[in-house]
A and B are shown apart, each in its own frame.
Chain A
């Protein structure tokens, strides 16, 4: 593989060197954090230091942080535990981790920019038994940032709980769980430059008695069984500690977008506040998978929607919910990693232009 330009950070951020170092050091500690002997205590210290670092970084309480295997499990645990005996309301553009766990949920519509309709939420909440609402902080496909704090205030007025999937937001924008006013918040290690294989659920102190999804040896105060992945967690913590929004991202993103717009692309979600690293570019009448493959041949790694559903060719539910119609199957996601450079942007633009030319040619022939 030569000169690959990796612009698929929302699928997985490249591992940060600091996180790698922390993890490699932690791999040398061989104890089980539940063991009482010295080796166990060293592992326990890694685990608890990690817990404190991550909680402090995102405005949570270490005692109310449950480590999981990743963001999907954190979302599933939140719905399993907080959703008990409550009806579910989820945003229309939520990640599949939420949609699958809340199959029977009422769906909160979004506008053309991808923003949740809070008036609709107020109506849904006013009417019926106590609810659990799931609203993601930043969307994985478009980067659209939801008005989560307003939603939280609304939820509290109606005795509803709010779970926030902050997997894409953490480390890329300001995030303070306590200030958001939500009841739980899901994080993923590899989306902020840590290793894959760890995530966390932050809980509001008000959320007590949590029924585990994965029961077991009583780890994580009985809230998640299984030997914690100490080395991965050490890497996660270090990545969380240093992940900050990157000033150059907005400028680089704007450059990509302008070039794409000049080629006829539509920026999905352009009307809303978005993550600086993410853009979702739709090309009318050109299938997303063809675009991704053409760019791959040019050495540019991007994706058509979420990585988990890559491989399946289906129109994005996110873009469909935004009312983009056929464009929902014609959009690619370009997401800048923490180490994106000007070179990546410089390589992307001509590759994108060639891709558009190449894929438009057969269309033009058809028309002729």
Chain B
């Protein structure tokens, strides 16, 4: 076994679609809100509360700016999972309450688990969930959506960037198709924010879900974009103090929100530079792996894909063996939420991979803090692990 080159970061973290390190610059702006600025942003009757409120409003504008929205269209939540739950269940339930006859809720087979579960829950409430297939490159064929919309739908939910393959759907086109059929359009942009330019207003998106910890911000905070003109109405998931215009009750965590805002500001400032650098690192990693392991396959479209993602099926080793043999490398077999599960990835199945091929597949996600040395370490570690791994059992 060859010794991998030295790396400044150990373990080498190439799982930036599961979560990201909180950027030190984000941490720095959060710090005062963890100490002297502890006011409750809803306590607007006193000065400390108003200071926290002003900081929350600045963050709201920063989030809006990055995704092409107005600050008034941003509702803070605990994360993208909650945002997806509110958007999907909230839009469908509100429409029904207003007397809408539309029951169809359309989404895609490769969505995040929380979208699929939200849609499934609606099925139990009498809605008609439809899961659309994707092509082998991971992209949704617009005609597939058009066909599904022959039955009037209340909502279409399609993620902008897939969490396992990094494939980028054509959201402007898909949203236009949905809107033309009179359906609301929601998009989970947790994996897209800061990676690709977003213009929710220009694309006429109705609802979109943002995560803090996927963009070098803190965990425990996210946002939901709710279009204002024309206004999209939702039934809240839970109520209480009536914060966030009644859409999301509960004390706003000012420090986390300030962190999310700064993470968005940095993403805006660094997007182009990050994408270029990360894309170069990905090419470097892929080239090395392809040279050493002919037969390695990249799953999903290479052209419609964010810069940092590689979803790789290895020729002759299981993902579990590769991970076990490279303990200094943090990569994953798929989405983090289900990565402890033994089930093969439903995303890869939807792309047409056999369970056996899915078991030989790793997700690698390069991020802002990845260095060339990290990538070289990863290539060497994976190549060595592959050489030493037992051949996978015949399917």
Q: Which A residues form the contact surface with B (CB < 8 A)?
A: 1, 4, 6, 8, 11-15, 20, 23-24, 27, 30-32, 34-40, 43, 68-73, 75-77, 80, 95-97, 100-101, 188, 190, 195-198, 213-219, 225-232, 289, 292-293, 296, 299-304, 306-312
Contacts and interface: CB of A to CB of B under 8 A. Distances in A.
Nearest to B327: A38
Given A34-B340, A40-B336, A195-B253, A308 B11 contact: no
Nearest to B79: A226
A72 B339 contact: no
Interface string B366-387: 0000000000000000000000
What 6 A-B pairs come out closest when comparing CB atoms? A217-B337, A308-B241, A229-B220, A197-B253, A76-B238, A100-B239
Given A32-B18, A76-B237, A312-B242, 13 more contacts: A13-B38, A31-B13, A34-B18, A35-B18, A196-B40, A214-B78, A215-B121, A225-B81, A225-B113, A229-B221, A293-B45, A300-B46, A308-B251
Nearest to A198: B220
Interface string B276-302: 000000000000000000000000000
A8 B46 contact: yes
B34 A195 contact: yes
Interface stretch (B47-55, B64-72, B171-179, B265-273): B47-55
B48 A6 contact: yes
Contacts of A24: 27, 31, 34
Nearest to A68: B78
29 contacts: A6-B48, A12-B43, A23-B34, A35-B332, A36-B340, A37-B331, A38-B11, A38-B327, A39-B13, A68-B78, A69-B78, A69-B82, A69-B250, A70-B250, A71-B251, A72-B251, A100-B238, A197-B255, A198-B220, A217-B335, A219-B337, A225-B85, A228-B219, A229-B218, A292-B46, A303-B43, A303-B46, A307-B40, A308-B241
A188 to B, nearest CB: 8
A190 B40 CA distance: 9
B31 to A, nearest CB: 8
B20 interface: yes
Given A24-B34, A69-B250, A296-B47, A225 B117 contact: yes
A236 B212 CA distance: 19
B256 A197 contact: yes
A12 B85 contact: no
Contacts of B112: 216-217
Contact of A39 (B43, B253, B330, B335): B330
A309 B21 CA distance: 35
Interface string B53-93: 00000000000000000000000011111101100000000
A197 B49 contact: no
Given A31-B19, A34-B337, A214-B85, A311 B42 contact: yes
A265 B15 CA distance: 60
A299 B46 CA distance: 8
B381 to A, nearest CB: 12
A196 B241 contact: no
A24 B35 CA distance: 11
Given A32-B19, A70-B250, A100-B240, A216 B11 contact: no
B38 A15 contact: yes
Nearest to A311: B44
Nearest to B20: A30
B39 interface: yes
Given A101-B238, A195-B34, A310-B42, A217 B114 contact: yes
Contacts of B27: 24, 27
A306 B40 CA distance: 11
Contacts of A35: 15, 18-19, 330, 332, 336, 339
Most buried by B among A214, A232, A308: A214
B252 interface: yes
A69 B35 CA distance: 20
A68 B45 CA distance: 28
Contact of B219 (A214, A231, A304, A312): A231
A73 B243 CA distance: 13
B338 interface: yes
A11 B43 contact: yes
B19 A227 contact: yes
Contacts of B45: 289, 292-293, 296, 301, 303-304, 310-311
B353 interface: no
A216 B337 contact: yes
B118 interface: yes
Contacts of A230: 219
Contacts of B44: 310-311
A188 B253 CA distance: 12
Contacts of B84: 216
Nearest to A218: B337
B305 interface: no
B385 to A, nearest CB: 13
Interface string B311-347: 0000000000001000111111001111111000000
Nearest to B333: A36
Contact of A70 (B211, B251, B340): B251
Interface in B234-265: 237-243, 249-256
B22 interface: yes
